[in-house]
Structures are given as C-alpha cells and as structure tokens.
Amino acid sequence: MKKVLAIFLAILMTLALAACAADTSKDKPEDKTENKPAEKLEDITVNENALGYFKSGVDPFSREKYTIVWMYPRRMAVMQNIADALKSWGEKLNYELIDATGDGDIDEFIRLMEQYANQGVDGFLLNFDVNSRFRIKEVADELGIPYSSVLNTVRSEEGSCIVPCVTLDGYQLGLDMMDWMYENQETYWGKKPDPSEVGYLGVTWSQNKDLDDRYVASAKKFLEYYPGNDSHVFVVDGVVGKMDAQTGTDLAAPVISGNPNIKYWYIVGVLEQYAQGAALAAEDLGMGANTMVTTVNSDVLTGMWDTGYDGCFVSCVAVAPENYAAPSIAALLAIIEGKATWDTLWTSRRAEGDQYTVYNMDTTIVTKETYKEYFSKIDEIIANTDW
C-alpha cells in the first residue's frame, strides 16, 4: 500500500512541476516569426532632394526589374509628360513603366487595374478620378498591390487624406497667382487702372476641390486688393463642358462681352486648357491688351511660348513633370521594398487632421522671359541626382 501511495505522490509531483513549467512559459516571448514585432520603419523621405526624390537604400539593380503602372482617368498633356519622365527614370531605377488611361470611362479604368494586377505588376501610381475616388480606392485595396496617388487627393467625407498623394496646394496657389498678377499689372497694362474698371474671372471645375480651391483663394485675394468690387467677380464652371480650351472660350466669352463696364480683366483658369481658352476669348473680343491670364501647370503655355505666342496668357505656375514623378516613384518603390509605409511617408509635411501626407510641391510662377531658365535648373538637378 505504501508503495502504491509513493507512486501516486510521485505522479502528482511530476504533474505539478509540468504545470508550473507551463505557467512560466507564458511569460516568455513567442518564438514564432509571424508574432514578432515588425521592424520599426523611419521616415526615409527626410533625405529627399530638391525634386522630392529620395533613395530607399536598395540598389535597384540588385533585384529583379519591377513593373509599375501609371494610370489616369483621361488624356491630358501633363499626364503624358509625367509618363515620359517616369519612363526615363525607369532606366536608372530598374523598372518598366506601363502608361494607361481609361479615356474618361471609369469602368474601363478599373478593368485595366484588375487586368494589370492579374498580370503580376508590382505597383500602381494612380491619378484618381475625383467622382469615383472611393470606388477606385476600394478596388486598389482589394487587389493588394502597393499604390499611391498623384495629382488628385483622396479624402474621407470628413476631409482627411486617406491615401498619400503628391500634388499642389491649390489654395496657396490661388493666393500666389493673384498676388503675382496684381504686382505685375503695370508691366502688362502700363499703369494701375481705376479700380472701378477692374474685374476678376475664375474658370473653375467645382467637382474637384483641389482645383476649385485655386479659384476660391484667388477670388478672395482679388477682393482684398479691390474691396467693394464684389459685383466685378465672376466664376464659370467647366463641369458643363469638357477639360479643353473650347470650354474655356465658351464660358469666358459671354462674361467678357457682357460686362463692357469692366475695362481690365484678371483671369485665373484652374486648368491650363481653361486658361488657354479664356485668353483666346479675350483676344478675339479685342480685350487682349487689357487682360492678364494665368494658370497652374506649365505644359500647355510653355508649348505656346516655344512657338512664339505673345498674347494675354502671360504666366503659369511652373511644374516640371519631374516634380510629380520624383517623390511619387521614390515613395512607391520604397513601399514595394518594405522600406516605407503610407504612415511613414513625408511625416514632417503632414497636415493636422490628415491620416496620411499630402506632399505639396514647391512651385514657381514663370513668364515667357523666365520659363527656360526654370526648366534648365530642373535639368541640372536631374543631372546631379545620385540615383
């Protein structure tokens, strides 16, 4: 009996020691790799150069060549020029670029995204259609392929940026454009006209807040320079037409011809094509000498200047395609390589209330006399970039 009892006690002791060992093991870190904390990522974008390019720390030619898709809703000069810049840099950063558009058809845009995803591409740079941004984001999230936004921000209903984006600060640009025109009026008009004879016309596209902000800010600034001229402020909306010069002409001409009491016009086109059309309207109506037209982006006007244009479309906010391409492709490659996440991109630039960062590029207003110098400086920066 004593022997049986001794065996029973020994078994109980063994079980107790095993339980104690099991309890102790709970305090030890798991060995499983998938449960280990992820490596802390830092903001490598602090090392960006003047164009916004930054190195991820990975030798591009130590890996296989990536395939990157640049997608935009509709064809415009700026889209093609960004594509050209991205293709050129593919040779330095070891990726192949696919240039694709839905040609105004969002269903086709999404079909192409899914097609390229099935082909095994490595990343998307997306210019989101503002009216379909949530649908496009949902598809991009489901595809599970790294992506980022260029030109058009993607914001929640509360206004927070929910996809990192390389773009322009539309509101600040509106202020800058009006400041520039007011400060240079004597250069183009030969004098400061009677304020009662000065008007403002904004050609906007209200469906896109990033663009509409350009009009809102410039109109506000106009009234700071010309208080009391509220009845001389006009806005026309390109949503009734297309994103082309003809729409700008069709919208601007009735305003200019219908207000003969206004002898001098400041015109801001939130798109280059709208500004081009508005300038043509003013010139056709004999008001070219007393009109100053400006816009954001420089693809259209610099092309006009290259062929000798010397009309009332006098300035633009210069944005080289490399300004868009540099921070965008650097960010996407860093995400693909696991060197950055949406949360770590450009954290020092993140605005309060934004979930992720809107990278607002630095800009310069140029004229026919200064644009070549500006683009020469961009070329110099590219030539001296350490890829």
Span 44-168+320-362: which CATH code? Answer: 3.40.50.2300
Mean pLDDT of 303-313: 97
* pLDDT confidence band for 14 (50 / 70 / 90): very low
Indicate if the pLDDT at residue 292 is higher than 80. Answer: yes
pLDDT at 316: 97
Q: How far apart are CA 341 and CA 244, in angstroms?
A: 37
Mean pLDDT of 61-73: 96
* Residue 336 vs residues 82, 84, 164, 301: alpha-carbon distances, Å: 20, 22, 14, 36
* pLDDT confidence band for 161 (50 / 70 / 90): very high
What is the token pair recorded at 12?
């109980």
Please list the helix, strand and coil fractions of the chain in percent, rounded to the nearest 5, in that order: 50, 15, 35
What is the token pair recorded at 182?
């007011």
In b/e form, how buried is each residue of 343-364, taking b as 16+ CB within 10 angstroms? Answer: ebbbeebbeeebebbbbbbebb
* Residue 76 vs residues 273, 314, 362: alpha-carbon distances, Å: 9, 21, 22
Range scoring the smallest mean pLDDT among 2-6, 131-135, 143-147, 360-364: 2-6
Angle 360-364-365 from CA coordinates, rounded to 5° = 125
* Percent of the chain residues topping a pLDDT of 90: 82
Domain boundaries, the chain: 44-168+320-362, 170-318
From the number of C-beta atoms within 10 Å of its C-beta (0-12, 13-18, 19+), residue 146 rates as buried
The pLDDT tens digits for 342-376 are: 999 999 999 999 999 999 998 999 999 999 999 99
The pLDDT tens digits for 222-276 are: 999 999 999 999 999 999 999 899 999 999 999 999 999 999 999 999 999 999 9
Residue among 125, 175, 173, 85 nearest 362 (CA): 173
Span 170-318: which CATH code? Answer: 3.40.50.2300
Alpha-carbon Rg for the chain, nearest whole angstrom, is 28
Range scoring the smallest mean pLDDT among 5-14, 151-160, 267-276: 5-14
Instruction: Find how far residue 363's CA is from the centre of its chain.
Output: 13
170-318 and 44-168+320-362 share a CATH fold: yes
Secondary structure, 3-state, 12-62: HHHHHHHHHHHHHHCCCCCCCHHHCCCCCCCCHHHHCCCCCCCCCCCCHHH
pLDDT at 40: 62
